[in-house]
Amino acid sequence: MEEMLRRYGSLAPKRYKYSELKQMTNSFKDKLGEGGYGTVFRGSLQDGCVVAVKLLKVSKGNGEEFLNEAISIGRTSHINIVGLLGFCLEGAKRALVYEYMANGSLEKYIYIENSDLVIGWEKLQQIALGISRGSEYLHQGCSTRIIHFDIKPQNILLDQDFCPKIADFGLAKLCHLKDSILSVAEARGTIGFIAPEVFSRGFGVVSTKSDVYSYGMMLLEMVGGRINKEKGNTESSSDLYFPNWIYDNIAEQVQSCEVICDLEEAMRKITLVGQWCIQTNPVNRPSMSKVIDMLEKRINELEMPPKPFLSCPSIRTSLSSHTSYDYRSSYCSASPAVLPCIAQK
């Protein structure tokens, strides 16, 4: 590990002692949040710069893989990626020091019933565009391709200017740029956002398109959360599959001549792009470069996507009898919107 640090030299993020982390966080006094892979605390560097310190829960191996990925992520430099400032690797203690994001996660701006937190559709479109640019950078712009595997509203942080930044690389995997697919031994991600092929190779290979699927579900979550909040929509059913509902009730209207006063162009564009991204076959999903292009076009320049194969309840029921997984609609704890949850039978 010391040799790895010497090899990368100044390109490696700063290494902190655990005692330094305690000092900068006032003994981990101010907790910002907690997830499955660690707890985040507010801290301050000696120059007064506010940071977020994430203490990791999982401590497997001798730390070489952790260090390799920390260095790779630390070498990323993009306006839509949260900056990694440093790390701690001291015995079983492992932590990451990130730049602080003043406006928290995208999640609270989708679901919370607080008028002070409402942001318009144009701003949401700009956030969606920023996330797609950050994802494209991870997939194509780094010296090592990074597949995030956990794109969701909770992992999108907003700075003081509401510039979105992709965060939480706890599930990310690295692969060489020449590799178009990735082999993973276990399913990873958050229920409701996981691409079908991550669970069953019968749907295709795991690749950067798996991130595209999660991104698409996140876009539909943005639309669904806002619609539920604006309209007070509490209607629910175990047979209701949100992407299916949104396709039937919103996306098709984009191609018609109907005037829908409460559906702005930005929202309809987010909806169409989201539907393209969640196509069941990874081959039919756009790349992140294409997603950027689509979000920058006008709504009448976009084609209507096919209805995703898994959006039909009867097809999902049929699939469940032939595979080891049941793809069915369910409620996800992270959202009031109905999303496709994937669970073992």
Q: Where are the domains of the chain?
A: 2-99, 107-344
Most confident of 84-93, 166-175, 305-314: 84-93
Q: Give the Cα separation of 342 and 178 in Å (integer).
A: 30
- CA 187, 192, 197, 200 dihedral sign is positive
Contact call for residues 152 and 218 (beta carbons, < 8 A)? yes
pLDDT tens digits along 144-171: 788 888 899 999 999 999 999 998 876 6
And the tokens for 91? 């015995």
**Which of these, 336, 313, 311, 316, lies nearest to 327 by C-alpha position?**
316
Q: Tell me the average pLDDT of the chain.
A: 76
Query: Which CATH code is given to the segment(s) 107-344?
Result: 1.10.510.10
What percent of the chain has a predicted confidence (pLDDT) above 90? Answer: 37
According to the model, what pLDDT value does residue 265 have? 82
Per the confidence metrics, is the pTM higher than 0.85? no
Say whether 13 sits in a helix, a strand or coil: coil
Confidence of residue 185 (pLDDT cuts 50, 70, 90): very low
Q: Are 304 and 272 in contact (CB under 8 A)?
A: yes
Residue 177 has pLDDT above 90, yes or no: no
Q: How far is it, in rounded angstroms, from Cα 58 to Cα 37?
A: 7
Dihedral (CA of 265, 266, 268, 269) sign: positive
- Distance between CA atoms of residues 219 and 217, nearest Å: 5
Rounded to an integer, what distance in angstroms lies between the CA atom of residue 290 and that of residue 211?
14
2: CB partners within 8 A, 6+ apart: none
Average pLDDT of span 281-295? 96
Active-site residue, selected from the candidate residues 30, 150, 239, 293: 150
CA dihedral over 288, 290, 291, 297, signed as positive or negative: positive
Please give the radius of gyration of the chain, using alpha carbons only, rounded to the nearest integer: 21
Q: How many angstroms separate the CA atoms of 168 and 42, rounded? A: 15
Higher pLDDT among residues 256 and 47, named by residue: 47
**pLDDT given at position 21:** 97
Catalytic site includes residue 47: no
Q: Per residue in 109-131, is it b (16+ CB within 10 Å) or e — as a string?
A: bbbeeeeeeebebeebbbbbbbb
Q: 2-99 adopts what CATH topology?
A: Phosphorylase Kinase; domain 1 (3.30.200)
CA-based nearest residue to 171, from 154, 179, 162:
154
pLDDT of residue 128: 97
